[in-house]
Amino acid sequence: MAHFQAGYNMTPRGPLCNIPDYTRARQQWVADAIQDLRGRKDDEGNPAQCTAGAGPAHCDIAACQHHAAIWFCNDNTSPSSTSCNTIADYAQVIYDKCSYKWHKGKHWTQGQLFDAGSGPGGSGGWGNVVVGYHKC
């Protein structure tokens, strides 16, 4: 399983806002999903790991609150994992850069951010994060 480790080049690419095939989610719901990811701990009290199945283009829901999901997507051919805090950090960038007022004056968020790092052996990093609407 590919793992995020200190020393990766963590320069993200994006975010891309208003990506096809995903709907906008209310900004507060996204904030709640980010908070959920940040609060996860393993049995020893350390930050939990999030995983995504083997790709390419495989996405698993890392967090879902109300009607907002944060997907952990993997373009590698083997399963990938990284800290749930890292997924939350990437979702926060999307929240900060891809939020705007839309329908009925509500604030909405939707977008995608890629890990541009290179892991051990020259792999393409751990994947990418998508934020958008989903019935939880």
Per-residue pLDDT, 12: 57
C-alpha–C-alpha distance, residues 14 and 8, integer Å? 17
Q: How does pLDDT run across 57-102, given as a tens digit for each residue?
A: 899 999 999 999 999 999 889 999 999 999 999 999 999 999 888 7
Domain boundaries, the chain: 12-133
Q: Residue 124: which pLDDT band, with cuts at 50, 70 and 90?
A: low
Q: pLDDT: is 41 or 103 the higher one?
A: 41
C-alpha–C-alpha distance, residues 20 and 62, integer Å? 20
Do residues 125 and 27 touch, judged by C-beta distance below 8 A?
A: no
| C-alpha closest to that of 51 among 119, 4, 111 | 4
Of the listed ranges 36-50, 69-83, 120-134, the one predicted with least confidence: 120-134
Instruction: Check pLDDT > 70 for residue 123.
Output: no
